[in-house]
Amino acid sequence: SQVHGKNLYLAFVAAEGPLGSSSEDTLLQREAASGADSPAQGGQEEVCAPQTHPQEEELQELQHARSEAPDTAGALGSWLRFHFGLFGSIRANEFSRANKANKRGDWKDPIPRLVLHFKSGGFLAFYNCRMHWCSSPRADPASDILSEEFHRGRALDALRAPDPICYTLLDQRYFSGLGNIIKNEILYLAKIHPLTQGSLLAVSDLERLLDCAVQFSSDWLHNKLHGKGLHPQIYRKEQCPLGHAVMKGTLGPSGGFKRLTWWCPQCQPAV
């Protein structure tokens, strides 16, 4: 298994013996193929999706996931890629249960996209995710901001590009796992306007931004593992912590991926 950002990669190898490909293998391949263009099943989004996330961001996330789909036109690979988007999850040895009624008023448990059973008796249940077969994990560990192999030099080179800094931060080739919430928060922490061209910033500013990205992501993961929530300072806020009015816009490259962005014009002045 390998994890890169919101993607989990599981490798499957054929068991040695006279049985060859089992019916379970074929079923797994059919399930993954049928899920290539479907983010969820069984009304799952209505049950699981937190109300704190705007629907337009979910649609943007799904569009982005489609554009990142691995090239598997030739043949099925031995790696199964799970993309979890905004609301995907895995549960070990338990199924997710509804904690509130959906829009229809039904207390219906979400339906997993896939359940993997193991000889030990345990199982993994995958919810609200997209699945694709691929030949190998596409992401480079050197681009994962929480990996020991994260390459700061390459990340800094990417940030120096003459493009708006908020575009570059979401480029998963250099910042695997850095999503929209992190982008908003670290730009505020570093006091950088999201549309500032990276080439106009001092190296010290870019270094501070990169430090904020790693530290914020580490703290978020640590809190998540200990059952604590996230308390954003700028994301989806009307005022920044200093009481200034916050601006909101959908920013992204022309013809490319666009995401909702929040920033404080006073704390993050335009360059």
What pLDDT score was predicted for residue 254? 87
Taking Cα atoms as reference points, which of 209, 158, 218 lies closest to residue 186? 209
What pLDDT score was predicted for residue 90? 92
Residue type, 252: G
What pLDDT score was predicted for residue 95? 95
Instruction: For residue range 198-207, list pLDDT tens digits in order.
Output: 999 999 999 9
Q: Are 7 and 81 in contact (CB under 8 A)?
A: yes
Residue type, 82: F
C-alpha R_g of the chain: 20
What pLDDT score was predicted for residue 35? 52
What pLDDT score was predicted for residue 59? 54
Q: Are 121 and 68 in contact (CB under 8 A)?
A: no
Tell me how far apart the terminal alpha carbons of the chain are, to the nearest angstrom.
Answer: 43
User: Which contiguous run of DSSP H or E holds residue 199?
Assistant: none
Residue 258 has which token pair? 């666009």
What pLDDT score was predicted for residue 34? 58
Q: Are 125 and 95 in contact (CB under 8 A)?
A: yes
Helix/strand/coil for 153: helix
- pTM recorded for the entire structure: 0.68
Mean pLDDT over the full length of the chain: 81
Q: Strands 114-117, 130-134: parallel, antiparallel or unpaired by DSSP?
A: unpaired
Instruction: For residue range 32-66, list pLDDT tens digits in order.
Output: 655 544 443 333 333 333 334 445 555 555 555 54
Please count the CA atoms within 13 angstroms of the CA of 175 that sit on its side-chain side. Answer: 24
Instruction: Provide the residue count of the chain.
Output: 271
Residue 97 has which token pair? 């249960």
Residue 31 has which token pair? 């399930």
Dihedral pair phi/psi, residue 138, rounded to 5° = -85, -30
CATH fold for domain 142-263 = Helicase, Ruva Protein; domain 3 (1.10.8)
Taking residue 140's Cβ as centre, other Cβ atoms within 10 Å add up to 17
Structural domain spans, the chain:
1-11+77-139, 142-263
User: Which contiguous run of DSSP H or E holds residue 137?
Assistant: none
Fold match between 1-11+77-139 and 142-263? no
Helix/strand/coil for 242: coil
What pLDDT score was predicted for residue 44? 34
Q: Are 201 and 165 in contact (CB under 8 A)?
A: yes
What pLDDT score was predicted for residue 72? 41
Pick the CATH number of 1-11+77-139 from 3.40.50.11890, 3.20.190.10, 3.30.930.10, 3.20.20.70: 3.20.190.10
Residue type, 54: P
- Which residues in the chain land under pLDDT 70? 15-77, 139
